[in-house]
Amino acid sequence: MSNPNIEKTLTNKQTFIFKDLVGPYFNPNWHFHPEFQISIIAEGKGTRFVGDHVQSFEKGDLVITGPNLPHLWRSDDAYFEKDSDLTTRGLVIYFDNELLSESLLEKEEFYNINKLVENSVRGMEFYGETRQKVNQLMPEIAEERGFSRIMKLLEILDILANSEEYNLLASPGYVNVFKGDDAEKMQIVYDYVMDNFKTKISLEEIASLLNMTPTSFCRYFKPRANKTFTRFVNEIRIGHARKLLLEDNFNISQISYECGFNALSNFNRQFKSIVKMSPHEFRKLFLNIKTSIS
């Protein structure tokens, strides 16, 4: 029986495909596939999982993921509400290894493209002018036909390959170790945490959902997520905290409790451990950036 979390997106007659995905929310399933993927969020916001990396996303988000790198763009809870009129839109390109063969990547002219391919195994988030350029170019692919489509894709790859405006996502040496029903089990974990991170997370409850003891669950989770379950939960909570800090509707103490922390001191400590600055410094930094832009 095939694993539904392993997706094949291209036929044997296709070099790449472009999809304009519109819906009430993004695909909520943790999955991976053998193709490279370039994704732009044209509308929507939520939490992005790439390998063992967790981060919030919003409109304009630009990411490339390499073959078989697990990923998930999970829309915020508001998108799943019964009476929601929110919509999401994602522009996605899938292309396979045959477009960039090993012999081609060895050529001098493809040095930067080769580095892009190598870095994509960890996932890459692009920002700044690079993000703006690719956001403008991606929709144009839908209008192209034949070899012109290939040329437009190569233009995008050239921009990404020559950019220094990026962050690597998954940890160095991250390896996809999912086998059998692992992806389905991890999906249960992700869904439970996303539904409950604002309140107390029960290790006993999540373990029971997988028919495990708390101890066996912790041993199971760590090598697959490349982090402890506690660290994973804290990253989800801090990701939500960053969104609230940027919205500037709550004070830091309120945000702490809104994100599931029972003590402000623990919230400050975990925030600094993950973001490398305090909540106050984070809010001040981005408010200053917002002021300078306006």
Q: Rounded to an integer, what distance in angstroms lies between the CA atom of residue 150 and that of residue 156?
A: 10
pLDDT tens profile 224-245:
888 999 999 999 999 899 888 8
What phi-psi label fits residue 291: left (phi over 0), alpha (psi between -120 and 50 degrees) or beta?
alpha
Structure tokens at 43: 């509308």
The amino acid occupying position 239 is: G
Which two three-digit tokens encode residue 192? 């439970």
**What are 168-195's pLDDT values in tens digits?**
999 887 888 777 678 889 889 999 999 9
The per-residue pLDDT of the chain, averaged, comes to 88
**N- to C-terminal Cα separation, the chain:** 55
Query: What percentage of the chain has pLDDT greater than the value 70?
Result: 92
Taking residues 129-139, report their average pLDDT. Answer: 95
* Integer Cα distance of 59 and 89 in angstroms: 9
The sign one gets for the Cα dihedral 30, 231, 175, 170 is: positive
Per-residue confidence band for 45, with pLDDT thresholds at 50, 70 and 90: very high
pLDDT at position 29: 86
pLDDT at 73 over 50: yes
In sequence order, the 6+-apart residues with CB closer than 8 A to the CB of 105 are: 113, 114, 117
Give the DSSP H or E segment for 49. Answer: strand 46-50
Integer CA distances (angstroms), 129 to 125, 139, 165, 225, 258, in order: 13, 17, 8, 32, 34
How far is it, in rounded angstroms, from Cα 15 to Cα 267?
47
Q: Are 134 and 62 in contact (CB under 8 A)?
A: yes
pLDDT tens for 97-106 read 777 777 777 7
CA distance to 1, 38, 99, 150, 159, per residue, from 18 (Å): 28, 9, 15, 11, 18
- Tallying the residues shown for the chain, one arrives at 294
User: Does position 166 have pLDDT exceeding 50, yes or no?
Assistant: yes
